[in-house]
Amino acid sequence: MRLLTVILLCCALLLCACATASDAPATPAPRPDPAADLPAAAETARRFLNAWQAGDLDAMHRLLTFRNRELTPLVEFRALYQQAHAAMGYISLDYKLQSLTGEGRFLTLQYEVTFHTRIVGSFVDSQRMLHLVVDSQLGEWRIAWSRADIFRELGEGARLVFESQLPVRANIYDRHGRALADQNGRVVRILVDNRHIPDREACFLALAEATGETAAEMDDLFNRRSKPDWIVDAGAIERDTYIRLHDRIEPVCAADFTQQATRRYLDGALMPHILGYVGYADADELPSLLAAGLHAESIIGKAGLEASMNDVLAGAPGGRLSLVAADGRRLRILSEAPSQAPKSLWLTVAADLQQFIRGALEDAFANGSFADETNGAAVIIMDVNTGEVLALVSHPTYDSNMLNPFPTMGREAAYTALAELIADERNPLLNRAAQGTYVTGSVMKVMSSVAALESGVYSQDSRYSCIGTWRYGNDLRYDWLPAGHGVMSVRTGITNSCNPFFYEVGFRLNAQDPQLLPGFAQKLGLGQPTGINSISEAAGYIPAPDTIERSTGLPWSYGHAVNLSIGQGEVQVTPLQMLRMYAAVANSGYLLRPQLVREQGILDDREPVARREALRDLGLDAANLAFIQRGMCDVTSSYPGTAAHIFAASPLLEIGVCGKTGTAQVPGADKLPHSWFIAYAPADEPQIAIVTLVENGGEGSTVAAPLTRDILEFFYFAEL
C-alpha cells in the first residue's frame, strides 16, 4: 500500500511538472551587447566632434559618461572650452577620423583636428585620442572625457598660453611730412617678482603712492589676483614719479623698471578735431579686442583719425600659442605668427596753413574783434578738384594730449586741463566744421540760384525789381538795404545779395512744385553727410514738405520755401556741407567726397589713400554755372559786391576770388547773427574753396569776409 502511494505521488509530481513547463511563457531573447556595435561607438565620437564644430558645448556635455558629467558639471565644462577658445582666438575647426582601436567596452579613436584662429592662423593637432566606453548606467557608448580632450597636455596640468606680440603704433604726418603724432612719449612700468618681495607691507605702500592706487588695492593685486610665482605688473608711472620714488620702491619691492612708449601729439591743440586721441577700450569693446589678440590694457583709437584708421595705425598683433607646464616650461608650440606692421599716415592737411588759421582765430577772439557772445568759429579749405581737405579748424580748440592715458604734460596737469575743458560752456570738444549745424543766411542764395536756373523757372534774362520789400498778402518782408537794389537778375541778385529777389525765387519755385527748392538743396548735398569717412559729421536738416508735416503736424506753405531760399527758418547744415556745395559750383558740378588721408605706408613705401571720388555728377548746365560764377566773382571785385570793400586793396584781386557773404539770423532778441563767407579761387581756374563761419559774429561782410581774405593771402602769397 505504501509503495502504491509513493508511485502515485511521483506520477502526480511528473504531471504537475509537465503542466508547468507547457504553460510557462517563452524566454526573451538576450539584449545585444553595445560593445559589439563599433559603428555606434564611431557615431558617438562623430556627434561629439560635430557638436564642437558647431559650438554646441551643451550637446558635447550630454555625450559624456554619467560619471564624467558628475565630475565636470556643465558650467565648468563650458568654461574650460571657452577659456581655451579665447586663448587661441578660436574661429572654427575641422576634424578627420583616423582609426578606432580597443576591445570590449573600451575603445580609443585616433583623429586629428585643424584649428582656425584669428591671430596664429590655422594649425593641425595630430595624434589626438578620444576614449569611448559603454556607460554602465545608460548602456550606450559615451565619451570618457578629461581635459586632455582639449589638448593632451592640459590633462597633465599644463596651461594654454597665448603670448601676444604687439607692434608699436605708427605715426601721423601732415602732407609735407611734418610729424603730428608719434610714439615718443615715455612712461615707466614697475615689474615685481611676487616670490621675492623683501618687505610686502612697505612695498605695497610705496607702489600705492607711485601709482595712485591704495595699499589695499595693491595687496589685492599681489595676493589675490596674481599667483605666487608671477611677475606682477604693478602699473605705469611718469618719469618724474620714477625719479622721485625709485629709491624707495626698489629696495622694498626688488622691482625692475622698464620704459614703455606712449602716444604723443607734438602740438596737441593744432588739429585735435582731426587727429582725435587714444585710450583704453570701453566695456562693450573688450570682447572684440580680446578676440583680436589684444588685452584689456591695449591702447586703441577713441576719436578722429586715431579711431577711424586704428587698424592701419595699430597694425595687427602676432603671437605664439603654446602649452606651458605648471613650472613654466614650454611643452609644445602649437602655432605662431608674426605681427602685421602698422602703417603711418600722411594727411591732406598742411600743418603750416592749419597753424596760421588757428592763430588768426585766436587773435581775433583775444583782441576783441568778435562780440562777447561769440562762442566759436570754423574754417575749412578744400581742393575743389580732388576733395582733399587742406585745413580744418574748429575754435575753440583743446590739447588732445590731456585725453591720452599717459599724457605728456603729466597726469596732474592733464586732470586740471580736463576739468577746465568739461566746464567750458563753449564746448571745445565739438568739431564745429563737421558736427556743428547752423542756419546759413545768404550763402544759401547760391543754391537757390542753381535751382532757379536749372529748373527752368528762371532764365539768365529773367529780371526782378528789388525795391527793398517783398509782399504776399499780409506777409511783408524787408531787404537788408531799405532803398533796394533796383532791377536784378540771378547774377546781380547774388552780387548784391538782394533778399526780395530770392524771396520771389522761393515763392515761384514753390508755386511750380513745393518739392523743387528743397529737392535742389538735397541734390547739392545739404542736410546729409558729405561722406568724409575719417571723422564724425552731422547730417543736418533741410526742411521739405513731408518732414515739416511730420515734425510739426502743419502743412508745408510758401513761407517755408521763402525762408529756405535765403537760408533761414528750419535750415541746419554744417560748414563742410556748404563748402562742398561751393566746390561743386567751382568744379563744373561734381559733388566730391572730402578726403583727409593722402597716403599710408612704411617710410618711403607709401600707397595713395585719397583718390578723387565724385559721389554725384550734378549735371548742371555749363552756361548757367558760368552765370552764377560771374555773380560770385563780382561779390569781391565789383562796386555793388557785398565784400568788394574788404578785398579792394588785396593782391587777391590779381587772381580773383569768387564768393558769397552770409548773415544768418538766429533766435533771440539779443543774439547776433552767424557770420559766413564762402569762396573759391582763383576765379578762372579754381583750385580751392574756403568756408569761414563765426558763431554769432555779426555781419558776414565785416567779420567772416576779412578773416577769409587774410587766410587766402597767406595761402597764396606767404613765403614759408
Does residue 26 surpass a pLDDT of 60? no
What are the CA-CA distances from residue 290 to residues 87, 90, 92, 281 (Å)? 9, 11, 17, 10
CATH number at residue 66: 3.10.450.100
Does 419 map to a domain? no
Does residue 605 surpass a pLDDT of 80? yes
How far apart CA 44 and CA 135 sit, in angstroms, is 12
pTM of the model: 0.83
590's CB contacts (< 8 A; 6+ apart) are 584, 614, 616, 617, 618
What are the CA-CA distances from residue 378 to residues 396, 528, 577 (Å)? 9, 19, 13
Residues 147 and 178 in one domain: no
Among the candidates 612, 641, 670, a domain finishes at 641
φ/ψ (deg, to 5) at 273: -75, -15
Residues 604 and 469 in one domain: yes
Residues 125 and 246 in one domain: no
Res 322: pLDDT: 96
- Residue 640 is placed in which grid cell? 555793388
Does 410 map to a domain? no
Tens of pLDDT, residue by residue over 654-679, are: 999 999 999 999 998 889 999 999 99
Residues 136 and 181 in one domain: no
Does residue 7 surpass a pLDDT of 50? no
Res 303: pLDDT: 96
Domain hosting residue 307, numbered range: 172-347
How many residues belong to the chain? 720
Res 8: pLDDT: 32
Place of cell 558617438: 44
Residues 589 and 615 in one domain: yes
Does 372 map to a domain? no
Res 65: pLDDT: 96
Does 23 map to a domain? no
Does 363 map to a domain? no
Residues 501 and 615 in one domain: yes
Does 224 map to a domain? yes
Residues 72 and 134 in one domain: yes
Does residue 640 surpass a pLDDT of 50? yes
- Residue 591 is placed in which grid cell? 559733388
Among the candidates 599, 624, 641, a domain finishes at 641
Does 134 map to a domain? yes
Among the candidates 313, 347, 381, a domain finishes at 347
Residues 138 and 185 in one domain: no
Res 337: pLDDT: 92
How far apart CA 689 and CA 74 sit, in angstroms, is 65
State the chain's mean pLDDT as an integer: 91
Does residue 5 surpass a pLDDT of 80? no
Tens of pLDDT, residue by residue over 120-136, are: 999 999 999 999 999 98
3-state secondary structure of 237: strand
Tens of pLDDT, residue by residue over 479-519, are: 999 999 999 999 999 999 999 999 999 999 999 999 999 99
CATH number at residue 563: 3.40.710.10
| Residues pairing with 691 in the sheet | 380, 678
Residues 188 and 136 in one domain: no
Residues 137 and 49 in one domain: yes
Q: In this structure, which amino acid lies at residue 80?
A: L
Tens of pLDDT, residue by residue over 250-301, are: 999 999 998 888 899 999 999 999 999 999 888 888 888 777 777 777 889 9
Residues 99 and 198 in one domain: no
What are the CA-CA distances from residue 58 to residues 90, 94, 413, 626 (Å)? 18, 19, 53, 72
Tens of pLDDT, residue by residue over 408-464, are: 777 788 889 999 999 999 999 999 999 999 999 999 999 999 999 999 999 999 999
Q: How many domains does the chain have?
A: 3
4's CB contacts (< 8 A; 6+ apart) are none
Tens of pLDDT, residue by residue over 380-409, are: 999 999 999 999 999 999 999 999 888 877
Residues 123 and 195 in one domain: no
What are the CA-CA distances from residue 262 to residues 113, 200, 303, 671 (Å)? 41, 30, 17, 45
Res 538: pLDDT: 98
Does 240 map to a domain? yes
